Chain A
């Protein structure tokens, strides 16, 4: 048996069983891994279950517990009959032929929408398809290019949403973050007071400012476009296209920033103020460390989990777009699409949108747990476990 002598202030010449220690360490590691795996699995199961419950509730709500079937049936009967009566050829039919024609059309539509099967059965099919990311085909909506694949419907709108809201939110996030940090160091300054005074302007939504900006810069000054993504017709040169795109982003991004920048900066400033008054910050000040070093090491570091959480949630909220905002700026984003899907009771599109968001949210929550552990040494898995 190998033995080592450990020299220390408290126990000189104490002999230690290294193998035993290593075994203990291995055991502890294994226990830690087991704990981690168990935690991970439980967390995953809980998250998937939560997502499934959330999605199923969405399916039931979006279909009004099956009442949408009645609405759709009524709408089908109405629209088929009206379309038939508007057709000149319909007038050449006799009474029996007319009724047969309309009924056969109605039957086809009932079959197409799956209304010949109970809603309960279909609701679980929607759930299964959604959870397995088999989004299939829409019921009514088509993508801008005419595809009925839900995947295409979403993917066509996603880039424009990510572009606009990604740009606007990233700028907002970092500007507000650093402005908040700066203001927290200048508590009571003129800038601080100005931000404090302007914070209530965020009570108005971005589209509200958008209307004013459009009125001023598009309608009156005629220096920026009313809306849309690019000029008409779209430039065929990619560089010109990009410039046109950026030109069309100026007003919506400005509206987005104006509506949120002061309140967000104020929030961060208040948040950082709490950390700025911690004892260790005062100690750092007393040591004569520079402001920059204090900000980085003593304020930003302990607030990283909050900042990362805010940033991660910000990234996934980009997926949802903004219905009214996109409408005001005629921006072909996913928010408008979602609104249309709800209005048309297009369950596959609604489910796909919700499932994607739910999975992203679950994944973010899941990953954030580990990120917290990485950036904050105080975080442990389980009670007294390893990082």
Chain B
């Protein structure tokens, strides 16, 4: 090849590289000449905005020295790390290889299959387990409109008997390679109710354990009762083979599960037509299709859980009644009156006490197994892999990406500082904006990483824990079964919770003022509860947005205004897609009042309750108040201007209808609109909703904030600000990277949430006699450990036991007694053993911790003899 050709090729590569290099940077049209070197510290200054077109400088800390210190004694504020670089890595197998090689420190997706197996086997990688996806066998329970068609699963006894035909241990151990656990009931693994009803669930597990012969016996009897005949080993109806159309999902292990169950059904004499398709191809049948057409009989369904469930309130209502999902199949659900009533009670929290709720649950659980609209199969366990030197909080249901505290705890073990690479399957998947922005869990992980909350959810129990809120008071209507287990919430009950006339209860979008309860209601309103939150007295001095602007009451008021305004047709920012959101908000909201501006105290009256007082507190924190991301009043003001002027729209629906872009605070064409609106807003010292917000913001405040935002945008190339321990310092959409840098001005110590770094699972072991003499007392020691030490008795909620005889039936149950930290004892009295039959038995122990929702389970085999 000639030199000219080589030169040409080299030139092309070079030009391409330069083009790509240029394309990788974001350019916005706002800049400002300043001499500040650290935007995140110090008081914001007021400076003029100069309009130019200059590329944004993205400053990123890349290599940082680390120092070894005792984490308990740290004075470091903000995050433990100096920099977190989130990189796009769509392939879980590649991610594990990169973790192994040290090219990546954590892969923040929940992985399964071969990648998970490799990660678990690695010496360099540790894994954390989540329970967030449940498999089911969904039945079409319709009676076919065409009488020549026959649907066995219109018979609930057959559906119930199918429980015996599914060997869940086989599915969990063989088909999932151990990355799943058997699931029998509607209650999620990662839920508080899993602990509350551990004993009842264990009983049902024993009752519905795999028993193929029992399945065949029951199904045969029912099939014959329905007029079917077994001919040459095949079920027939009216002379035709009974053919089951089995919809089997192909994207995951459900393909294998479907194959296994289909084979079991074929072994019973059914003819099975396996329709193996993807989600999109099958949903028209089972979601939208008319079930009475009998175009399908069975479906390998699955449901997901994105965060640990404190109250499984919809467990029965959603899966066994027609009151939640408006789908044709669900319309056929007509549970027995007792289950129907229990489902409604659980869903609406219609109890006088927790004990009453527990009783309703105990009633509903076995009934839901009998009214088998579906048979639960497995609860999948996925793992989050990270290198051994990494420490991080994960949510028992949501993993790392679903844990609000992930960035508050992530660090290199025993080190402070450093740069960490975190992989995610997708980065900047969809636009970031507070009303209609990305709800992808991967984007939300970035949003949570740089954000803060008034109240967090305990990643191990789902119980509310303190964030920025200092304390709260709840006044609840008498008879509502709410309890408090934290000292930061004061819970009281009153016969009636009245909404005061001066509380804000509505919004006049034309005049941009709140309407009071007296304006909105003709009669005095009552609410389920009144929530009063107290923010720290020094909050306005210590908490700043990432552009340096101190937080203020206006940020909270803006959240209140927009809750009403955007779904109001009279608003300049009206968005039809936000009407349902507004309606949903109003369905429980009764009123709000700012009792004190400084220190900030907010009272809220609402019908939205919770069994836990901690989870019923209404904070109005400017992150929690919006659906999809954080916002200060001033960057919200710029967004609202962009929306009102047609530059972009918050929701994809409005954007599509008007053929404009969707608002995006971090990248893309929205940045130009935001820059332009920011310039105008600065020039006008613009205060949005001035008749109301003007009471909390001065023109000088507004100018100062806009200038801070302009400087932030100039430095970092975007408009996304929050109040968390890291800020978004680099946005690289095409390269698929997001850079989070420690926000030194954050008021909290890096160690604040260190206690949540790892879940305190109870590890249980039983020791006792291998042979028990019938009629004599038998004692079994139960050893409960956590991490490397004994589990404190105070942190244990209950230790219960059950004894199952050789035939699988429960012959005894009770609660164990604490001996000392880490040691409990279960004693079978003489009269109990005296009633037991001779033979082998199994002692099951269920340990429920106060610190983690998933109970510890352990079994012990022994024999009884005279």
Contacts and interface: CB of A to CB of B under 8 A. Distances in A.
A188 B193 CA distance: 79
A35 B668 CA distance: 49
Contacts of A100: 583
A146 B734 contact: no
B694 interface: no
B699 interface: no
B432 A89 contact: no
A238 B25 CA distance: 10
Interface stretch (B204-212, B653-661, B684-692): B653-661
Interface string A152-187: 100011011011001100110011001000000000
Given A146-B733, A152-B669, A163 B326 contact: no
Interface string B409-450: 000000000000100000011111000000100000000000
B50 interface: no
Contacts of A87: 584
Given A232-B85, A233-B85, A108 B97 contact: no
Interface stretch (B15-23, B66-74, B755-763, B818-826): B15-23
Interface stretch (B5-13, B236-244, B508-516, B809-817): B5-13
Contacts of B865: none
Given A78-B287, A105-B580, A241-B21, A98 B653 contact: no
B279 interface: yes
A307 B367 CA distance: 76
Contacts of B607: 92
A83 B441 CA distance: 13
Nearest to B303: A82
Contact of A227 (B20, B94, B100): B94
A222 interface: yes
A112 interface: yes
A330 B88 contact: yes
B735 A145 contact: no
B670 interface: yes
A332 interface: yes
B421 A112 contact: no
A21 to B, nearest CB: 45
Interface in B119-168: none
A201 B240 CA distance: 55
A252 to B, nearest CB: 13
Given A108-B653, A234-B24, A330-B94, A74 B666 contact: no
Given A98-B323, A101-B583, A230 B24 contact: yes
A159 B587 contact: no
Interface in B1-60: 1, 5, 9, 12-14, 16-24, 26, 57-60
Nearest to B22: A238
A5 interface: no
A71 interface: yes
Nearest to B431: A146
* Most chain B beta carbons < 10 A, residue from A162, A175, A228: A228
Among A100, A145, A225, find the residue whose CB has the most chain B CB atoms closer than 10 A.
A145
Given A108-B577, A236-B60, A92 B587 contact: yes
Contact of A145 (B85, B579, B667): B667
Given A74-B288, A232-B85, A167 B16 contact: yes
Given A108-B576, A146-B432, A234-B24, A78 B669 contact: no
Interface string A105-135: 1001101100000000000000000000000
B351 interface: no
A144 B733 contact: yes
A91 B88 contact: no
B733 A242 contact: no
A219 B736 contact: no
Interface residues of B, number: 96
Nearest to A147: B668
Contact of B21 (A85, A102, A245): A245
B83 interface: yes
A328 B667 CA distance: 26
A314 B428 CA distance: 33
B280 interface: yes
A161 B573 CA distance: 39
Interface in B457-479: none
Given A218-B101, A230-B735, A71 B23 contact: no
Interface string A206-232: 000000001100110010011111101
Contacts of B657: 111-112
B684 to A, nearest CB: 27
Nearest to B88: A330
Nearest to B280: A71
Nearest to B19: A159
A229 B20 contact: yes
Contacts of A219: 97, 100-101
Interface string B296-311: 0000000110100000
A194 B324 CA distance: 70
A20 B430 CA distance: 73
B588 A89 contact: yes
A228 B90 CA distance: 11
B527 to A, nearest CB: 12
B56 to A, nearest CB: 10
Contacts of A242: 14, 17-18, 21
Contact of B735 (A82, A89, A332): A332
Q: Lowest 5 CB-CB distances: which A-B pairs, in order?
A: A74-B283, A144-B733, A145-B668, A146-B664, A145-B667
Given A142-B662, A145-B669, 11 more contacts: A74-B284, A82-B304, A89-B585, A146-B661, A146-B668, A175-B1, A222-B103, A228-B735, A233-B85, A236-B59, A330-B91
27 contacts: A71-B284, A73-B284, A74-B284, A74-B287, A82-B304, A92-B607, A95-B324, A98-B324, A98-B326, A136-B659, A144-B667, A145-B667, A146-B661, A148-B652, A148-B656, A148-B661, A152-B669, A214-B97, A222-B102, A228-B87, A232-B421, A233-B60, A234-B730, A234-B732, A234-B735, A242-B18, A246-B17
Interface of A: 70-75, 77-78, 81-83, 85-95, 97-105, 108-109, 111-112, 136-137, 142-149, 152, 156-157, 159-160, 162-163, 166-167, 170-171, 174-175, 178, 214-215, 218-219, 222, 225-230, 232-234, 236, 238, 241-242, 245-246, 327-328, 330, 332, 345
